[in-house]
Amino acid sequence: MNNIKKKLSKGWVAAGLSLALVFTGSIGMGAASAHAATATSAQVKADRIISMGNHYLGTPYLYGARSGRTDRFDCSSFVQYLFKKQGISLPRTSAQQSKVGKYVPKSQLKKGDLVFFSTRHSHGRVAHVAIYAGNGKILHTYGAPGVTYSSLNSKWWSSHYITARRVLN
C-alpha cells in the first residue's frame, strides 16, 4: 500500500511539474505571439496605407490643401489622409508630424515609417514628409508629378533627409 501511495505521489508531482512547464511555456509564447501580432498589424497597416496611396498616383499637388481633400494634396495632407483611413490621427503639417511617434534611424526604416526632409527654402528645417514604401522608395506628393514614388537614395532626397518617425504599432 505504501508503494502505491509513493508511486501515486510521484505521479502527481510529475504531472504538476509538466503542467507548470506547459503553462509557463504558453505564457512565454503568449508574449511572443502578442509581439508578432503587433508587428504583423503594423505591417498590414503599412501595406494598406501604401496600397491606398497607389490609388492617388498622379493626383495633383496643391500647397496648403485642406485636410480630407482628395482631388489635390500637399505632402502632409496626403500622409494625414492615408493614416487617418487606418485609424491613426496625425497633426496637419510636416513639422508637427515630425514630432509624433518614435525616432527611427535611416538604416532601420520599415514600410509605413514617416520620412522628413528640408526643402530649398526651409533653411534645414522640416518642410516635407513622405511615407517609406520599402526598397529605398518613398511615396509622397510635390510639385509637377503630384503623388509619386521617388528614390530615397537619389542625390536630391538623400541630401535633404532630416529624420524619420514610426507611428505604426
Active-site pick, 35, 55, 121, 128: 128
Q: DSSP code of 66?
A: P
Active-site pick, 55, 121, 123, 140: 140
Can 75 be counted among the known catalytic residues?
yes
Can 121 be counted among the known catalytic residues?
no
Please tell me the distance from the alpha carbon of residue 77 to that of residue 81, in angstroms, as a whole number. Answer: 6
Which three-class secondary structure string do you get for 52-83?
HHHCCCCCCECCCCCCCCCCCECHHHHHHHHH
Q: Which of 155, 165, 159 lies closest to 79, judged by CA?
A: 165
Identity (one letter) of the amino acid at 12?
W
Active-site pick, 75, 121, 123, 160: 75
Can 128 be counted among the known catalytic residues?
yes
Catalytic residues, by residue number, are 75, 128, 140
